[in-house]
Structure 1
Amino acid sequence: MLFSGWASEVEAPWPDVAEVTDHVGVRHLVVTRHALVRQVLADPVRYRPDNALDAVTPMPVTALRVLAGHRFRLPPTLANNSAASHPEIRAIVADALHPARVAAQRPWLTALVRERVARLRAALDAGEPVDLYADLAADLPLLVLARLVELPDAPVGAVKEFARAALELFWAPLDGDRQVALATEVGRFHGVLREFAATGGGLAAELRAGGHPPDVVVGALFFLLVAGQETTSQFLTLLLHRLAGEPAVRAGLRTGDVAVADVVEEGLRLEPPIVTWRRVAAVDGTLGGTAVPAGTSIVLWLARAGRDPAIVESPDEFRPGQRGSRRHLAFGAGAHRCVGDVLARMEAAVVVAEATPLLDGVTVVRPPWCPDNLTFRMPDAFVVRSVERPADQ
């Protein structure tokens, strides 16, 4: 169960803390209650982030050799950093994603989304199916990120393939052959990042100027490209799919009775792209009455915490603006709260405002399919077409 069904099982009965053994026999404590998840996230002394980027499927020697051949390393940088260097690294990245800089990108993004929506509308009107993931959402966050942070000169497709390969390599249950193939893809692009980290401007230059070693610069770029944009394109797709089944919400958006910002927050609560996150217990203790020995892997079920009836009025209903809607933990909490939350919200707000009308009068041809993964949902497509009209109309 540890990997499959995270999104579909959130409504099933679960204790506040449950012991689960994964596909390779590792014991984890799964934490489901909102208050307990927040407690763990807010206490980096007792619950450290050191295992956040550990591969959930131990890598065979063949895959490790591939990564070593590309000089691949992920030192403590952002999500997995409990050291004294974390606040300074985080501050540099946060400055690159400052709310004022993010807001300045909104007119450009709005124009781009409108252009794509017009093209998709024409295709729908012509009776053609359209993929709202591939043709709208997939590359938008990467294009915005590239305007905020200088990135390596690489094709968008190559960056997307690298990011998805990394999410699979480190967070999915895999066989050895697949791990080697993914290690080859991730290692190859890691080399591109390493070269850019040594000479690139913008964020890379700021980190170098701060005295951070090359591996840290590479690690920051790695995390931005993997978590800083891939998760947002996932969320845009999941949110649009959810809105396709919420005609009352779409009607409220048209009339102005439903606020775009409230739709985004309710989407983050019910359709988060990151459904779990990990911590490791640094000391012996208890959590929700359950003993937690030092060294225990803790899986924080963020998606279920967002449906905790203790914090939200109607946990399983998509009701923008309802009590508790904004208390979700889609961006985490505490010292490691997502540094790109303002950016993700802005991008989602633009897509909701501009693209939701595409969902009126369509039928879903292919809903998003998400592969088996502990943490990331990774939808692969979302295909719709216009509902056929009777011949006499």
Structure 2
Amino acid sequence: MTSALGGPPGPAFPTGPAGPCPYGRAIDASPVPSIEALGALDLFGEGFVRDPYPWLDVLRADAPVHHDPATGLWLVSRYDDIRRVLLDPAVFRPDNAQHAITPLGVPALRVLARAGFRVRPALANNGSPSHPGLRRVVTRFFNAQRVAAAVPVIERVAGELLDTVGSEIDAVGGSDLFGAFAHTLPCRVMMELLGIDGLDTTTLVRWSDASLELFWGRPTAERQLELAALVAEFHQWLTTVVSDRTAPADSFVGALVRHRLPDGELLDLQTAVGACFFVFVAGQSTTGQLIATVLRGALAEPGVWPRVAQEEGLARAWVEEVLRREPPVTTWRRVTERPVELGGVRLPAGAELLLMLMGSGSDPEVFTAPEGMRPHRANSRHHLAFGVGRHRCPGASLARTEAAVALRAAAGRFPTLHLTPEAPPPPVLDLLSFRAPLEVRVSP
């Protein structure tokens, strides 16, 4: 008999009401929700954020296309339905992908307007004929060849950050791998790969996180003002960078500003800024969230951490299972172009959909025993964490590689590291489309 990792069976993974709990800690037992309870579902609530799996199971089994009155969104939870939506952008358009889920108040809108902020169709929210050409420009900087060439950069930056982690562990007996390592690594790597200088990583991280919270969170009116000010700074900086027409043609910004649209016109400034906005947020915040989830899960699962630095391919296989079961991008939005039937439900034109990507990775019709972490499962890469079709994430290969390198480097440097037992459960990012532990407290 062997464990899911291919070695001797280890201790059982701690379980909550819906099977293995995400962070290796037992979650307070609560009644498994029923279809009748879906009226009380709160996508931003503590119960759903801490342990979404029972809710996702009920949605997938009993209400695969469910209208959520609190947000006005149709929640789509079965793998096949989500895949169908993603593969048909003509009927299920991406136009609403980056709309603010919480309506912004007039004061916040004024702050953004003064900065010239506009969300133009560029990449994730672009269903127009300009999308394929723009995507080709961006994808060229994140293709397999460039990602392979970037591995030494990722390893070097990871080593530098882990030096700081080691110093902190020596000084105080512990560290937080989220703040000291996972959250910073992708930002530094991206800035080097894209040739961005003259800006400290702390500022870019703060801008990126503020953008996620403003557009995918439920901030109060006062908080909206704080976030809008940061997003405005971010937009103004991006505008300055993109406006510099002296950027080399082989640089990311240089390629964007020289790109021509289908009508032959040069790409306009606002669309170029919008493309940069999406790439910077996705390349920094969401990749950092993935790394944090990967690290915490590997530390919590018996037998994983000591082996990932030694066993060929295990780090990448673990990353793939995390992407399947607990992706950092948990949901994504689409809007129907015309009336259509989906999952047995007739939807009108203009229906706004929320694709439950996290739930699709636990669909038992696709993944055997989906609640268990099983690296090397035969169809592990069939998950939808990066989407599928023409809007599939162009940075998927880089994100996978960064997460695997980060895991292997951290486990190799600190093979006896473990989650700090007395640490409280970590705060969890509670945005509509993003979820991750915001702390990974460790001890030697």
TM-score (norm 1): 0.92
Indicate if the aligned counterparts of 1:19 and 1:27 stay in contact, CA closer than 8 A: yes
* CA 1:61–1:119: 2 relative to 1, 3 Å: closer
1:209 to 243, 246, 258: 258
Amino acid at match of 1:363: L
The 3-state SS of whatever aligns with 1:384 is: strand
Indicate if the aligned counterparts of 2:417 and 2:442 stay in contact, CA closer than 8 A: no
1:370 to 411, 428, 434: 428
Amino acid at match of 1:39: R
1:381 paired to 2:444: no
Q: Where does residue 3 of structure 1 map in the other structure?
A: 44
List aligned pairs for 1:63-102, cutoff 5 A: 63-102=108-147
* CA 1:228–1:7: 2 relative to 1, 3 Å: farther
Indicate if the aligned counterparts of 1:194 and 1:218 stay in contact, CA closer than 8 A: yes
The 3-state SS of whatever aligns with 2:280 is: helix
2:151 to 100, 106, 110: 106
The runs of 5 or more residues in structure 2 that have no matched partner are 1-41, 260-265
* CA 1:361–1:350: 2 relative to 1, 3 Å: closer
* CA 1:81–1:258: 2 relative to 1, 3 Å: closer
- Alpha-carbon deviations, 1:315-335, whole Å to 9, x = none? 111110123322111101111
* CA 1:38–1:92: 2 relative to 1, 3 Å: same
2 CA distance for matches of 1:254 and 1:344?
Answer: 18
Higher relative contact order (CA 8 A, sep 6+): 1
Indicate if the aligned counterparts of 1:77 and 1:86 stay in contact, CA closer than 8 A: yes
The 3-state SS of whatever aligns with 1:181 is: helix
* CA 1:379–1:253: 2 relative to 1, 3 Å: closer
The runs of 5 or more residues in structure 1 that have no matched partner are 387-393
* CA 1:251–1:312: 2 relative to 1, 3 Å: farther
The 3-state SS of whatever aligns with 2:303 is: helix
Amino acid at match of 2:139: A
The 3-state SS of whatever aligns with 1:235 is: helix
Q: Where does residue 181 of structure 2 map in the other structure?
A: 136
2 CA distance for matches of 1:244 and 1:76?
Answer: 40
2:194 to 149, 163, 176: 149
How much has 1:98 moved relative to structure 2?
A: 2.1
Indicate if the aligned counterparts of 1:127 and 1:385 stay in contact, CA closer than 8 A: no
1 CA distance for matches of 2:197 and 2:160?
Answer: 26
Amino acid at match of 1:35: D
1 CA distance for matches of 2:221 and 2:171?
Answer: 45
- Alpha-carbon deviations, 1:352-372, whole Å to 9, x = none? 211135363523325542243
List aligned pairs for 1:215-364, cutoff 5 A: 215-253=270-308, 256=311, 259-357=314-412, 358=414, 360-364=416-420
2 CA distance for matches of 1:133 and 1:222?
Answer: 23
1:19 paired to 2:50: no
Indicate if the aligned counterparts of 2:419 and 2:440 stay in contact, CA closer than 8 A: no
The 3-state SS of whatever aligns with 1:228 is: helix
CA RMSD of aligned residues (A): 1.9
* CA 1:198–1:126: 2 relative to 1, 3 Å: closer
* CA 1:252–1:319: 2 relative to 1, 3 Å: farther
1:30 paired to 2:85: no
Aligned positions, number: 383
* CA 1:111–1:206: 2 relative to 1, 3 Å: closer
2 CA distance for matches of 1:138 and 1:370?
Answer: 14
The 3-state SS of whatever aligns with 2:267 is: coil
1 CA distance for matches of 2:257 and 2:409?
Answer: 39
- Alpha-carbon deviations, 1:247-289, whole Å to 9, x = none? 2223443652762221110111122111000000111011010
Indicate if the aligned counterparts of 1:31 and 1:299 stay in contact, CA closer than 8 A: yes
- Alpha-carbon deviations, 1:89-140, whole Å to 9, x = none? 1100111222211111112321332343355345435651201011111111
2 CA distance for matches of 1:146 and 1:29?
Answer: 37
The 3-state SS of whatever aligns with 1:374 is: coil
How much has 1:153 moved relative to structure 2?
A: 2.4
